[in-house]
Amino acid sequence: MEPLINDANTLTVDNSWGTNDHSPMRGGHGTLMAGIAGYGKLEGALMTGNIVSLTHKLCSVKILPRPNQEETPKELWGDVIAQGIARAEIQNPDMVLVYCMSVTSTEDTDKGRPSSWSGAMDNLVFGEGENQRLIIISAGNIRDEESWRNYPDSNFTSSVQNPAQSWNAIVAGAYTEKTLVNDDNYRKYTPVANEGELSPYSSTSLAWEKKWPVKPDVVFEGGNLLKAPDDNVTPHDDLELLSTSKSFNIKPFDTINATSAAAAQASWFAAKIAYEYPDAWAETIRGLMVH
């Protein structure tokens, strides 16, 4: 990670929250996303004998308190994001910035109706008519085994989460091409999704009222699941994405899945477009990705 991010670009909205990855996930959440946002498909970077060209760098802004700290009131969620964006822009003036957020909530998710948080995201993207921003948000995940058993019907009825009903942001959902597991203990298991289908983790907007936007806007690899002969569903590392771990001194790599992984890939993809077309508007990059 050292070539991608320095201490000056590890920021926080509230100093008491710190800047380290305090996610309870085994490999960390932000660190796993950072590896993909920086390198794309890390497996390819590790397997090549060539120099890996880095065309962009990373900036991290902490928007969540530590697990033992008081949570931010819901009415301030949009303000916290605005503060985080301001800190990134102050630290990186005159730079092309792509914003990636994989923090969502099931609260205020009402068939696509705007929320105060999604409205704040729309305003931040619009930038008061100038200085538009490119913001990528994860669609939100399905995490319970009962829903996984009912794939894909459960995905069709599981709503994209707040604030991903934002009209102006790019919302990343997940599909999968991962169907192979090299593990003899799982020979009798079958993948939940076939190659090229919607990832079992991904939410959709199919249940929304038709007057609201269709989400997600794009899909990237989000991993797959395995179904056992007794109908139980389980994850497996072979069906997830390799990335950098926060516990690098113990285990330098770990895996990540779902729409967080998809949003990180979407950010890498957007950064590559911005590198090739440094004068492109945020709307242009958004349009190239979506269409």
Residue 271 lies in a domain: yes
Residue 128 lies in a domain: yes
pLDDT on residue 27? 87
Average pLDDT value for residue range 78-82: 98
Q: What is the dihedral of CA 91, 28, 174, 194, to 10 degrees?
A: 150
DSSP per position, 213-267: PPS-SEEEE----EE-TTS-EE--GGGSEEEE-S-TTT-SEEEE-HHHHHHHHHH
Between 88 and 251, the more confident residue is 88
Residue 254 lies in a domain: yes
Residue 1 lies in a domain: no
pLDDT on residue 128? 79
pLDDT on residue 166? 97
SS3 1: coil
pLDDT on residue 211? 95
Q: Are 211 and 167 in contact (CB under 8 A)?
A: no
- For tokens 């705007």, the residue is 114
**Can you give the CATH number for the domain in which 20 is found?**
3.40.50.200
Q: How many domains does the chain divide into?
A: 1
Domain interval for residue 158: 7-290
CA–CA distance, 243 with 177 (Å, rounded to integer): 17
- For tokens 């990670």, the residue is 1
In this model, does residue 98 exceed pLDDT 90? yes
Q: What are phi and psi of 16, to 5 degrees?
A: -70, -20
Average of per-residue pLDDT values in the chain: 96
Length of the chain measured in residues: 291
CB neighbours of residue 133 within 10 Å: 17
CB neighbours of residue 17 within 10 Å: 16
Average pLDDT value for residue range 90-113: 95
Between 67 and 129, the more confident residue is 67
N-to-C CA span, the chain: 32
Q: Are 206 and 245 in contact (CB under 8 A)?
A: no
Which residue type does 210 have?
K
Residue 286 lies in a domain: yes
Residue 171 lies in a domain: yes
Q: Model confidence over 35-59: pLDDT tens digits? A: 999 999 999 889 999 999 899 999 9
- For tokens 């939410």, the residue is 203
With a pLDDT cut of 70, the percent of the chain lying above it is 100
In this model, does residue 178 exceed pLDDT 90? yes
In this model, does residue 34 exceed pLDDT 90? yes
Residue 197 lies in a domain: yes
Continuous H helices in 5-142: 30-39, 42-47, 77-91, 116-126
Q: Which residues pair with 286 in a beta bridge?
A: none
Q: Name the band, by pLDDT with cuts 50, 70 and 90, for residue 10.
A: very high
pLDDT on residue 26? 81
In this model, does residue 289 exceed pLDDT 90? yes
In this model, does residue 129 exceed pLDDT 80? no
Q: Are 202 and 211 in contact (CB under 8 A)?
A: no
